[in-house]
């Protein structure tokens, strides 16, 4: 694993809100990730969360555009909680250290992982920001997004708007079936040029949850498989949003409580361990 970040890469991330890392995993590691994730997905059999029976892509009664969003990607969350090999991947402290360097925080917790598979002919992922969906308010939380197979313009690669993390707001959630709707909220970016991230299998990106980003449609007859995980600084607090937490978890949380349940949001890296 190519986990050493240069000062230049960290600076680049701080400025642009995303970083492309080619050759992140070597071929053996990629094979281990692919086998582990494939097995973990089979075990889950389409169940989106471990705490409910909702299937990925299903209309859960809230999502009025289920037929559209159900065909953006298959989203299975927290595979690390149901499969030991995925747990070893997602809790790897070398990734934790990278996240701590990029977020400039002393210690790093998992928010959640997710497998994102665009099936053949999947819809595009509309432009959006992630952080407003989450159960804490923090401007540093980020995602790693690892290509499990080659990701191209044809099968739905990611796109990023450089520097946008410095301007987007925690209070502006929303994703729409119109891929550009968010530019009504951020008109300054409407005519800016995004950076596309075509990746070889085993390469990855990091993006700040407040960076404007999107992914194209899958215009191929094959899949576009990615494994991602959101990491957050160790000391974030509950903001009242349920997001991926279970009903039981949120009844036991008050606004302002630390999200520090080691079973749900374990620390995977701390500078104090060095």
Ligand X SMILES: O=C(O)CCC(=O)C(=O)O
Binding region for ligand X (CB under 6 A): 73, 116, 125, 130, 143, 145, 213, 215, 226, 228
Which of ligand X, Fe ion, none lies near 81, with the C-beta cut-off 5 to 8 A by kind? none
At its nearest, how many Å lie between Fe ion and the CB of residue 63? 16
- For 106-131, letters b (16+ CB in 10 Å) and e give ebbbbbbbbbbbbbeebbbbbbbbbb
What are φ and ψ of residue 250, in 5° steps? -75, -25
- Residue closest to ligand X when measured from CB atoms: 215
At its nearest, how many Å lie between ligand X and the CB of residue 189? 16
**Collapsing DSSP states into helix, strand and coil, what is residue 21?**
strand
Which of ligand X, Fe ion, none lies near 145, with the C-beta cut-off 5 to 8 A by kind? ligand X
Rounded to an integer, what distance in angstroms lies between the CA atom of residue 78 and that of residue 82? 7
Four-residue CA torsion sign, 35, 156, 49, 55: negative
Rounded to an integer, what distance in angstroms lies between the CA atom of residue 23 and that of residue 9? 14
Rounded to an integer, what distance in angstroms lies between the CA atom of residue 268 and that of residue 96? 6
Q: Which of residues 104-143 bind Fe ion (CB under 5 A)?
A: 130
Which of ligand X, Fe ion, none lies near 73, with the C-beta cut-off 5 to 8 A by kind? ligand X
Please give the size of the binding site for Fe ion, defined by CB under 5 A.
1
At its nearest, how many Å lie between ligand X and the CB of residue 171? 18
At its nearest, how many Å lie between ligand X and the CB of residue 18? 10
Which positions touch Fe ion (CB under 5 A)? 130
């Amino acid at each position: 694993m190519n986990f050493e970040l240069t000062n230049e890469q960290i600076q680049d991330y701080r400025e642009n809100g995303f970083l492309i890392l080619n050759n992140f995993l070597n071929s053996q590691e990629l094979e281990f990730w692919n086998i582990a994730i494939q097995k973990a997905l089979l075990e889950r059999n389409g169940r989106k969360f471990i705490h409910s029976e909702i299937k990925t892509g299903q209309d859960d009664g809230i999502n009025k555009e289920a037929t559209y969003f159900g065909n953006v990607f298959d989203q299975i969350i927290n595979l690390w909680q149901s499969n030991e090999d995925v747990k070893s991947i997602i809790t790897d402290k070398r990734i934790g250290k990278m996240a701590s360097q990029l977020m400039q925080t002393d210690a790093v917790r998992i928010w959640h992982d997710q497998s994102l598979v665009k099936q053949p002919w999947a819809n595009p992922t509309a432009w959006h920001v992630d952080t407003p969906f989450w159960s804490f308010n923090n401007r540093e939380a980020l995602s790693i997004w690892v290509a499990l197979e080659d990701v191209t313009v044809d099968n739905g690669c990611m796109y990023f708007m450089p520097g946008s993390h410095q301007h987007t707001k925690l209070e502006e959630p929303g994703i729409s079936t119109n891929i550009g709707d968010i530019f009504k909220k951020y008109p300054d970016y409407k005519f800016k040029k995004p950076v596309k991230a075509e990746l070889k299998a085993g390469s990855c990106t990091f993006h700040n949850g407040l960076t404007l980003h999107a992914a194209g449609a899958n215009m191929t007859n094959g899949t576009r498989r990615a494994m991602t995980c959101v990491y957050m600084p160790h000391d974030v607090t509950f903001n009242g949003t349920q997001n991926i937490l279970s009903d039981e978890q949120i009844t036991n949380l008050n606004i302002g409580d630390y999200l520090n349940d080691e079973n749900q949001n374990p620390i995977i890296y701390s500078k104090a361990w060095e």
